[in-house]
Structure 1
Amino acid sequence: MSRNLRTALLGFAFVFFMGGVGFASVPLYRMFCQVTGLNGTTQVADAAPGAIDRQVTVAFDTNTSTALPWAFKPEQRAQRIAIGARDMAFFTAKNLSDKPITGTATFNVTPALAGSYFTKIQCFCFTEQTLQPGEEVRMPVVFYVDPSILEDEEASRIEEITLSYTFYPVDSAKAAS
């Protein structure tokens, strides 16, 4: 094999490999964040382990993109919950436009250290939400704080965890002006 052909093949293989890495980086990063709780990414589970005799306050923060004409807020600004117990919070969203709009919510937890201990069982943020003109919906999130938070020397001192959501239009072309 000639030197030029070998160099061209190596160059092509490198470009192909880097394209694959670029394509896979977003899902791999998302999986890494879910496993480690990096940047306040919450965990997902099917059931809560059960309450223990310790409580923490969970505060709720909501935001909407300027491109999404929705009113979005928690029904309660904060709840005092037992660590390990299954709990539920409700949020309301209202489409303020005259067009159907689909939105999706991103979320995070602060302090970021609490992300690996904050676990969602069910959440409106797992799917896209379509609201008709003027429609208002009530959306639940079912969650718990993992008791293993008490085994982490730094995390065990956390008194308040903030769960924050931001809604964005799924397709900005669909968002009302």
Structure 2
Amino acid sequence: MAMAGPKKTVLQLVGVVVVMGALSWASVPFYDWFCRVTGFGGTTGVETAGAEQVLDRTIKIRFDASLERDMPWTFKPVVREMELKIGETALAFYEAHNPTDRPVAGSASYNVFPYEAGGFFNKIDCFCFEQQVLQPGERVQMPVTFFVDPEIVTDRDAKYVHTITLSYTFYEIDLPEGAADRDELAGAKTN
């Protein structure tokens, strides 16, 4: 009977480790969901179509681009800022270039500043929704289609926002399966 105490304690500790592991595993998707729903932390919304109403009031949108430390690409907005009517659908482009001699895959994380505007900045289509693979020397312009929800003018905190900055950071990811093979096949066909 003396073993019942230590066995119980070990089982409790294992249970605590399992519960803590499950909570930490679930925290990332839960936080992502929370940010998408609330716009917390500058997370933008995603829509399938533009706003139904376009206001006579304008807002300035600034575009920012950066790279994670080891990402070998160059990356920049084509236009640094634009002014548009609130509710108007707009199209902006970012340019990426792979100056290396190998294919490089990348994924973009993004946010909006000020954070109060995150829930009102809506993307209809964006290069950030998918991973990007650039072949050696390839240069591309990647579009983002967006609008600012007219509800921003009635929000207690966001109604004072006159400028929104959309920021993207590209980081390198593993090449998708077959991406290197396609590059080798293309090289073989040109030889």
TM-aligned CA deviation for residue 3 of structure 1: 4.2
Match of 2:45 among 21, 43, 50: 43
Q: Any gaps of 5 or more consecutive residues in structure 1?
A: 173-177
Residue 31 of structure 1 corresponds to 33
Q: Distance in 1 between matches of 2:40 and 2:160?
A: 19
Q: Distance in 2 between matches of 1:171 and 1:63?
A: 19
Q: Any gaps of 5 or more consecutive residues in structure 2?
A: 176-191
- C-alpha deviations, 1:124-145, integer Å up to 9, x for none? 1111100000001110001111
Match of 1:17 among 9, 16, 19: 19
Residue 175 of structure 1 corresponds to none
- How many correspondences in the alignment? 172
Counting only pairs closer than 5 Å after superposition, residues 107-122 of structure 1 correspond to structure 2 as 107-122=110-125
Give the SS at the match of 2:16: helix
- C-alpha deviations, 1:121-165, integer Å up to 9, x for none? 111111110000000111000111111111113211111000011
The two structures have a TM-score, normalised by structure 2, of: 0.84
- C-alpha deviations, 1:40-82, integer Å up to 9, x for none? 1111111122312211010101111231221211111111111
Give the SS at the match of 2:128: helix
Give the SS at the match of 2:69: coil
Q: Distance in 2 between matches of 1:114 and 1:128?
A: 25
Percent identity reads 46
Looking at CA atoms only, which structure, 1 or 2, has the larger radius of gyration?
2
Give the SS at the match of 2:14: helix
Amino acid at match of 1:39: G
Match of 1:85 among 61, 83, 88: 88
- C-alpha deviations, 1:6-60, integer Å up to 9, x for none? 4333322221111101111111111111111111111111112231221101010
